[in-house]
Amino acid sequence: MSTNDRVIFFDTTLRDGEQSPGCTMHHDEKLRFAHQLALLGVDIIEAGFPIASDGDFESVHSIAREVGRDGKAPRIAGLARCKREDIEAVAKAVAPAAKNRIHTFIASSDLHLEVKLRISRQQALDQAGEMVALAKSHCEDVEFSAEDATRSDIDFLCKLTEVAIQAGATTINLPDTVGYSTPAEYQAMFETVRSRVPNAAQAIFSTHCHDDLGLATINTLNGLLGGARQVEVSMHGIGERAGNASLEEVAAILTVRKDQYPYSHGLDLKQIGATSAMLDKIISFTPSPNKAIVGKNAFAHASGIHQHGVLANPLTYEIMTPGHFGVVANTIVLGKHSGRRGLEQKLKELGYNFNREQLDEVYHRFTALADRKKSIYDQDIVGLIEAETAPLV
């Protein structure tokens, strides 16, 4: 493992994330979200794909000018294919930022080279070397990605990496573009490339994992174990198809399980809740209720046993505090699985203090209602207490 334990958080919500159906953002929305990412403390904001449209160019340019204007702001990056016009568009778009990056890529798997690009391996090597050098002439910080790295011939991947670093790449991204790799394979790929490429020490290696098999987060972590020190993630894990590795999940794991992942980072974790809430308002869907960290049920407790334990001591059923991530505090959700302790707590929150006999009566009425009604709201509880047939107050 590298002696450098600092993990660089590269956020791609505004690029890969925005490409996801239902996640398109307008100019003002991208700019507002970029400001929030800066508050969150991400190291790099991949602001968009400037060559894609005039609107995307303007968004990246505005973010570079307004969010990246001082040296303490995140580095602002734009994506470019290994094509001259793409790279020159990114160079112009990110130019106003105090710290900027050109991120360029070309496919490395034979499937992509033959079917999509229709070029040979040698042509890919030549193109990568020439375009990375061009990017370097515009910007000191250049990232190179070998698209579909996890399905590439390892010998060719090593050669492509060597050529990119020799041409000036300062970051090498080995993405699991289609979410195919397993954790052990992904870790081994980084270990192999870093050990076999002569100039590997001149670059920082990066992960970029998709969630097609539900492995994006664990693959990202195994990439760190393999020597990567940059993680490409998105808020809520949005992105192409099943999405990217989730920023909040990776950040939480690095915080809670330092015994397994002894790495540091620069995120302000208390901003995760605000960042999540802003994304909820911008895109057309919210995370699944059981989504780790930011789902509305992530710190909710419905089982009577769990409610009793968490009210006595949150550590019984919570391995982290919601306040640490700036999200809503643990919630007691009342339903047919709730026990007396959870109901008693809710009654106290509503201003009622009952003796044991009264509590038993309310609980009896409550369970009868819960068998008929899926969601129990505060007004339902008040209705049970003030029922005309047998008021308890």
Cβ count near 232 (within 10 Å): 30
Q: Provide the token pair at 53.
A: 């449209």
**DSSP H/E element including 101:** strand 100-107
Domain with CATH 3.20.20.70 in the chain: 8-267
Structural tokens at position 334: 């009342």
Those residues whose C-beta lies under 8 Å from the C-beta of residue 315, and which sit 6 or more positions away, are none
Residue-level pLDDT at 389: 44
Helices and strands per DSSP (H, E), number in the chain: 14, 10
Predicted TM-score (pTM) of the model is 0.85
CATH number of 300-385: 1.10.238
Long-range pairs of 190-197 with CB within 8 A, sequence gap ≥ 24: 190/223, 190/226, 190/227, 190/228, 191/226, 191/227, 192/154, 192/158, 193/154, 193/157, 193/158, 193/161, 194/226, 194/227, 196/158, 197/158, 197/161, 197/162, 197/165
pLDDT at 134: 98
Distance set, CA 337 to CA 191, 300, 305, 376 (Å): 48, 13, 9, 12
Tell me the pLDDT of the chain (393 aa) as tens digits. Answer: 344 899 999 999 999 999 999 999 999 999 999 999 999 999 999 999 999 999 999 999 999 999 999 888 999 999 999 999 999 999 999 999 999 999 999 999 999 999 999 999 999 999 999 999 999 999 999 999 999 999 999 999 999 999 999 999 999 999 999 999 999 999 999 999 999 999 999 999 999 999 999 999 999 999 999 999 999 999 999 999 999 999 999 999 999 999 999 999 999 999 999 999 999 999 989 998 889 998 877 766 555 555 556 556 766 656 677 788 888 655 656 666 777 777 787 787 677 888 888 888 888 888 887 788 777 766 777 777 876 445 555
DSSP letters spanning 133-180: HHHHHH-S-EEEEEETGGGS-HHHHHHHHHHHHHHT-SEEE--BTTS-
Please give the Cα distance from 48 to 60 (Å, whole number). 6
Enumerate the H helices of 41-153 as residue ranges: 54-66, 84-94, 110-111, 121-138
Whole-angstrom distance, CA of residue 157 vs CA of residue 164: 11
pLDDT score recorded for residue 138: 98
Q: Each residue of 277-288: pLDDT tens digit?
A: 999 999 989 998
In the chain, alpha helices (H): 27-40, 54-66, 84-94, 110-111, 121-138, 154-167, 183-196, 216-225, 247-256, 272-282, 304-312, 340-349, 356-370, 378-385
Q: What is the pLDDT of residue 310?
A: 53
Place of tokens 């590298």: 2
Q: Are 37 and 61 in contact (CB under 8 A)?
A: no
Which residues contact residue 28 at a Cβ distance below 8 angstroms, ignoring those fewer than 6 apart? none
The residues of the chain that CATH labels 1.10.238 are: 300-385
Which class is domain 8-267? Answer: alpha beta
Give the pLDDT confidence score for residue 352 in this predicted structure: 83
